[in-house]
Structure 1
Amino acid sequence: MSRQLSFSPRQEYELIEYPGRVVNTERMLSTLGGIINVSKVLGDEQRRLELRFHPSNPYNKPAFGDGVDKCGVLISITVRRHKRDKSRPPQHFVRVLGHCSRSFCFESLCDFQFLPLWHTPKSDDALAATELIYALEHVQPRDVTDLGYFKRTQSQLLCLPELFARVDIVYGGNYRIDNTDDGQHDVLGVLAKSNYENHDVVSFNMVETFPTHPDAQILKRLKVKYVSDEQFARVKKLFEENPIWTRIALLYESGVSNEKLKCIIPSLAFYFSNGPWRSLYVRYGYDPRKDFKSRYYQTFDFRLRFGSGVSEFVYSRKSAKQKKATAPDEAKSELVQDIDYPYFNEHKLPRSRQCMLRYCDVHLLKIQEMLEKLPTPLTGAVCNEKTGWLPPSFDSQVRQIVCVTISELLRNHYRKEHLTAEVEAVLPHDADLEEDEYYADAEPQDEEMDLDETPVTESFVDKNIEQLLNNMTS
């Protein structure tokens, strides 16, 4: 008997990969808790599908099926064969019945089953063979009205394990066989906690609202850490002056220690994990998406990608702090900005190879003029989710200006060093001369020097400087 099926490619189905050969559909559904329980699980994206191989037995651990995203198509294939002429090839008709976007896979352990089986002798003889009987009715009552359960005597005890298994997913262990490393020098450490575990971390978007006040637990933690009113007032005043700050700028301007500042900041500002104001602290209640002046406080991520021209001066932040604590170099400190200075000036190199700055922290007149000359957006305009209130190529232009400033600073530094070396090579170095005689002899030598050689020396210096700076990129 043929039956016509209604189909539609847009019909959506749910796929359950049942770990067994299904002979009776009703019994299969009973192992899954019935059609009602299956419908509840399919309607909830977080629930897991339970599979009990013995639905009537409460003493077994179910196998759980997790819902995973999996695309599939349900296809119906009909094969028609000619009844009289067997030599004719069969005809196949393919129809698409629907599709599925989720599947329930049973990949957990399913061998933890406990059945209430009792060993009972077949006869009254003590030496007779025993048989296993299903003693569920001796262990628990059949229903609420089964009063005879309390009169039955249990010949055997049913001891169930407290826990079948700690995990229901098998993890394969890959062990490395290495005879050279015996593990004697391994150090077991504690996982480093995140620096932002106590902060209100916010992901930048154009739809949701930003926090307007801190959490109650943060204010409670502030009292426990013994932060003085003076320290709290200093940081609060900074956020009243400017709504967005970097952490290093707050340390520099407030003078509060890093440990105290970690407790104060979460009570005054939240932290942006991405977007135009990434890695900055924003005052509660301030929405930079609605204020065009917030363009001054957008994040400027500047990284040095120079060759040998800068690598001998500027280090990473961690290395710079170690070198400053152990052996500070006075010559380099005059050229490189202090590691704790939060701004960028045109007369010194950046404090580290990567600097997280605000655009207002870049103290270059040309860049500040560019920020001022940006046209005010029209009424109803919103900032961009990636570039904020700035044009798309604004950060590239600023980065190019900063790189040109740094290259000019290095060029002047190397020119000064080479010229000093040339002058020292010309001057006499006779230890027997007195100080007065030395300068007396040096003055006429300077007067007798050929002035035409000076441009040659400068061109030679410029040529060497260009070779040192040829690896510099923006």
Structure 2
Amino acid sequence: MAAAADAGQGGAVSVDLRHERRMVCVEYPGLVRDVSKMLLTLGGEESVSRIYADPSKRLELYFRPKDPYCHPVCANRFSTSSLLLRIKRRRQRGAPGSEARLDLQVLGIVATVYKFQGLSDFQYLAVHTEPGGRQVSMYDKVLMLKPEKESFFHQELPLYIPPPIFSRLDTPVDYFYRPETQHREGYNNPPISGENVIGLSRARRPHNAIFVNFEDDGVPAQPLEAAVQTWKKVCTNPLDQKVEKELRKLFEIRPIWSRNAVKANISIHPDKLKVLLPFMAYYMITGPWRSLWIRFGYDPRKHPEAKIYQVLDFRIRCGMKHGYAPSDMPVKAKRSAYNYSLPITVKKTPSPLVTMHDLKQGLAAVPPDVLPVMRPERGRAAEGHSPQ
């Protein structure tokens, strides 16, 4: 379809593009002089058509197409809305001045473009250095171009086993250098270190909490001296002393609390709560009471009545909460019950007969006519109780 540029300066021409051909643009990283050689670096027309049929694939360009060890540079696929134009400038012979006529022709619509935005991978050439310093190609010795006899596989040849890829990333990444972590005065590195220890570059958090695993033998009976001194420095007004008494009373009512439950029962700033909790209790990391704060000296593993304080962890997606996500979307479990690390072959004594009074006592861990506090938040576990 041709459109003459005689509509006047600043004029517009209407063109119907509904019947134009759909084309694909490849931003080739080089000057194309021979189209056939250019297509050979892309794998040929058949390879380009196969990659275009699959939107998830990237277009590969081999600068040495005959070299089987050449690592390609990849192009990403993008959607676009462009026109491929052919512009001809016509000038009449013998006409005075430099007046010329421009003819425009729309050849097609470009809806897809491949852009080579990344870097090429490192290249390793199969060459061998002779005693005289001359570089000799090894392709004739490495590549099997014809069937060989058994003696061919027993002769001594230079070993050439390059990796399939050198760099995992094809885009440059800026490395942000950071200064060395400055710990507080008197801090010593932990004596236990290994390949699985992470986070050593982070400064130690000064809250002085005691962390206990479910497999540990005992539990602490009192807080660290540093935790006591830290709370004394923070507790500077009568309101803080009142909050301390309220939290101590909560741990007398029940020995195990979650952070959310403490926040729901007392009014305290989150920064001060980080200092007050290590002063009152220790933190359980694993097991049925993980992520809970337990009163000093109380071991829930030795008290059967502590089973009602086990964690029932469930999450509510933010989209489901606000109504713009389906409610039946499957959520993958954080851990599998088939790969549970705790022993499952422990011999248990036969349980005594359960009376109706015991069943009523084990239904809930709250007084009658009182609903338990359920405060699910985004990315935070809600507190619940399980009788098992």
Pick the TM interval, shorter chain: 0.3 to 0.5
Bigger RCO of structures 1 and 2 (CA < 8 A, at least 6 apart): 2
Higher helix share: 1
TM-score scaled by structure 2? 0.43
TM-score scaled by structure 1? 0.36
